[in-house]
Structure formats: structure tokens, C-alpha cells
Amino acid sequence: MRVAVVGKGGAGKSMVAGTIARMVAQRGERVLALDGDPMPGLARSLGTVDTSEPLLADAVERKERGPWLLKRGIGPVTAIRRYAREAPDGVLLLQIGKITLEDHPAFLAAVQAYWQLVHRLEEARSLESWTFIGDTPAGPRQIAADFSPYADTYLLVVEPTWPSVLTARRAAKLARMREARVLPVANKVRQAGDRKVLEDRLGEPVVATIPFDEEIKQAERLGVPLIDHAPASRGAKVIEQIVERIETRA
């Protein structure tokens, strides 16, 4: 699977991405989780301790005012070995890291390192059978800036609100320009009519509807991943169906 999860801030991207990563890993597959968000949320939804350090800054160097380039000998496999953090079920997490004010140059270096590494993921034969699942910052900007070139599928997480739908429409267009498959998913749906309203506004049907689920809220409050807190919840069940849908390649 080669998936990027996109949508407006708060739509549920990190929750969905983290849950999918853990589900796939629990089946025994190798999973690389990628967090390109400078306000990262994936570590938490996977169930690992977050770090604000831009670890990837160490992977690049530059000559005077030249561009940041990956250090000799550092490609995706080495970078994963050195800089990825381990999450439960063996998921490995590579992330830009939190935007910092203390050491902003290091953050900028990490952004460059991340961008270059995601562009080289496909060249690593040993990663061919891995699942890549990427969390992205709110909105369509990072799709346009080519931060998820590994994705052949974009999971569009949409709430039934206008701002969320407008962001999703733009993101869907950008993803389709890349000839990727777009799978819209309704999230936080509270009433029967919400899905229909969302689809009308979005201009296309959704492939799954995740209800507003108190278990998801509670998992967040406890700081525990959904899959550990309530694996049999309605929300988790729908996310399982989404994984199946991604795998059908339809």
C-alpha cells in the first residue's frame, strides 16, 4: 500500500493514518509511517512517544550557502535505520519533526532531508513489499509541493462542514493531477443525512463513513491509540473496511 492521508486540519487525518498503520502491521506486514506535518500528530496516534527534535537534520549537509543535500551514503534504508522511531507492532515512523523556534535552521534542514528521502523511497528494493502510509499537514499545499510522491492512493478525510469540503475538493484535484487514486472518506458523521449532504457538496460519493465515535474521543483523552483503546469500536471497524478498500485497487 502506498497511501497519503489528506484533508483539513482536525478532520481526523492522524487518527486514520495511525490506525491504518497499526492494523496493517498487526497482520505481519512491514509498515513505514511518514509524518510530513510540522505539527506532527502521527506519533501519538500510533502510540509512540513524540519527539520534537528534527532528527532528520542530521541526514543532510551543505556547502556554505548551497542547497541541503543528503550526506554521502544516506539513502532511504539508512535513514530509516538511523532516524526512524519504533512504534507498537513494529511500525517505523519517519517524520520531519515539530516546527521549532529554538533551532529553526535544523528544522529547515529536516524538511529538506524528508523531501529528498520520500523521493527516493521507490528506489529501495528492500522496501518494495512495505506499506507506506503518510500523514500530511492540513490543506492541499504539501500535495502541490510534492511531499508525498510515494502515494498512489490519497485518502481524503472530510468532515461534513463547508471548510472541510472545500479543502478536500482542492486536494482531490491536485491528487488526480498526479494520476493518483482518490478515496474520499466521511469522518465525524453524526446523523444519517450528513453523508448525503457531504457528498453533494463534495461532488462525488465517499467510499466509507466513519461515525462520530465517543470511543475515538475517549482514546484521545487517554492518549491511547484507537486500536489499543477500542479495537472493536464502530470507528475502528470502518477503518478496517477502508484498508480492504485500499487493497482492492478499485
Binding interface with Mg ion (CB under 5 A): 13-14, 41
Burial label for 12, CB within 10 Å (0-12, 13-18, 19+), is buried
Smaller CB separation from Mg ion, 46 or 174? 46
Widest CA span of the chain, in angstroms?
Answer: 59
Pick the piece of the chain touching ligand ADP (CB under 6 A) from 78-86, 98-106, 148-156, 209-217: 209-217
The position carrying cell 482536525 is 10
- 128-145 in b/e form (b: 16+ CB < 10 A) is eebbbbbbbbbbbebbee
Size of residue set near ligand ADP by CB under 6 A: 18
By CB atoms closer than 10 A (0-12, 13-18, 19+), residue 73 is exposed
CB 105 → ligand ADP: shortest distance, Å? 27
194 binds ligand ADP (CB under 6 A): no
Looking up cell 500530511 gives 136
- Among Mg ion, ligand ADP, none, what does residue 235 contact (CB within 5–8 Å per kind)? ligand ADP
| Closer residue to ligand ADP (CB): 112 or 142 | 142
Q: Which of 19, 142, 153, 187 binds ligand ADP (CB under 6 A)?
A: 187
Q: Which three cell numbers stand for residue 146?
A: 510534492
Residue nearest to Mg ion (CB): 41
**What are the residues binding ligand ADP (CB under 6 A)?**
7, 9-15, 41, 187-188, 210, 212-213, 216-217, 220, 235
